[in-house]
Amino acid sequence: MRRALSSAGVPSHLRLAYDAWAPVDDSSGKVSDSKRLAWFGELEAIAVDKDYSRAFERWTSSFSAPGDRVFELALASRLLVGHGNGSAAEVGITVHHTWGVPVIPGSALKGLAAHFVDAVYGPEDPKPLPWEQPEGQRARVPYRGVLRTPQRIVRGPGAVYRALFGAPDADEDNEMREHRLEAGASAGLVTFHDALYVPKSAPKDQDDKDYKDQPFAADVLTVHQKDYYDRSGKTWPNDYDSPNPVGFVTVRPRVRMLFALSGPPEWTELAEHLLSDALESWGVGGKTSSGYGRLSTPAKEPPPKKDDVVECVLLAERTKKGGVRARHEASGWEGHIQGDSGALATAETGSRWQLRVFSVTSRDLIFCVPTAPAPPAPKKTKGR
């Protein structure tokens, strides 16, 4: 069976190539050291399917409700989500089930944001009851998370945490109600959707003349005390144990991910701020203690100049008055399209248009629809 798979070539779906198509040895069930280098080279060369852009545009355009918020962040370091998944490389990865592109599950984003809110904004000591907190800590009570013991859920969260992430039933609910505080199980008001890879955001290698949308890159973790870890501390670490390099696949730095939140506008705005801070400060996924998984607002290159006609992509986000917004992909600068946008008002999100830069501010651009130059007047011919 594996011979038939190998003869078919490496599939375009990373998860299939990383799992079912892995060139494992029959005896060990792992990829041998002699095959790893070539295999990881093939995995790095997997490009995103060209049809993914259409699916991405449909998904992006679905967020049209008043409270929906869609925003991009760029990887400042490598990303490794799902490293505990089974894999022939011993380190797994999570990708989109259908398209095989990088993805960050919404459940991971919600859990990260919830932990960040509790740890950063909640009271220093969560055990005292809200009305027993010191005066300087009471303003932090609304951000407090759920208080648990190994066996019980003791106390529900504060009001802000509850609104953002929801709450379970807790032992002290009746006592909270006696003090006119919210208690009991409730659903959060904000939905954290999966973050999806932005098409064609993979950085281009300087040696590549033709751009290929390849968001994955191999990495290696070298264990220097394998015998010590394998024996659960029964042998002492030493300086002469053989290092054991373990290769695995990650998402490249500078790749952009699109995040989406749904819910009441005032709560999704707060959730975006908190989630962005958590992703930049803490990171998401595996190996965050080593700097993996950090995301931040994409750095802006110099914007185009006034009156330049540039190619732009239409955004799902609209202005407060429902106007069309666009992004100049080459620099990352965004802005609204002023005046009568005509066909742009009903154009598909993600479609590309030639727009003229009407003005440049310190923060964004203002576009307009370029007008075609008037045809030259016919030359007059002199009579004979």
**Is 144 within 8 Å of 123 (Cβ atoms)?**
yes
Report pLDDT for 180. 94
Residue segments in the chain with a per-residue pLDDT below the cut of 50: 1, 206, 372-375, 384
Opening angle at CA 298, ends 294 and 302, nearest 5: 150
Report pLDDT for 233. 61
Report pLDDT for 137. 93
Whole-model pTM?
0.75
Beta bridge partners of 186: 167
User: What is the token pair recorded at 327?
Assistant: 């992004």
**Is 31 within 8 Å of 39 (Cβ atoms)?**
yes
Return all residues near 6 (Cβ < 8 A) that are at least 6 apart.
Answer: 21, 23
Opening angle at CA 256, ends 250 and 258, nearest 5: 115
Q: Pinpoint the alpha helices (H) of 79-136.
A: 106-116
Q: Tell me if the domain spanning 309-368 has CATH number 3.30.70.
A: no
The number of residues making up the chain comes to 384
User: What is the token pair recorded at 213?
Assistant: 């949308």
Sign of CA pseudo-dihedral 102, 193, 54, 67: negative
What letter represents residue 247's amino acid? G
Give the start-to-end residue ranges of the domains of the chain: 2-105+194-296, 108-192, 309-368
Report pLDDT for 373. 46
Q: Pinpoint the alpha helices (H) of 152-198.
A: 159-165, 173-178
Report pLDDT for 273. 96
Report pLDDT for 112. 97
Return all residues near 125 (Cβ < 8 A) that are at least 6 apart.
Answer: 137
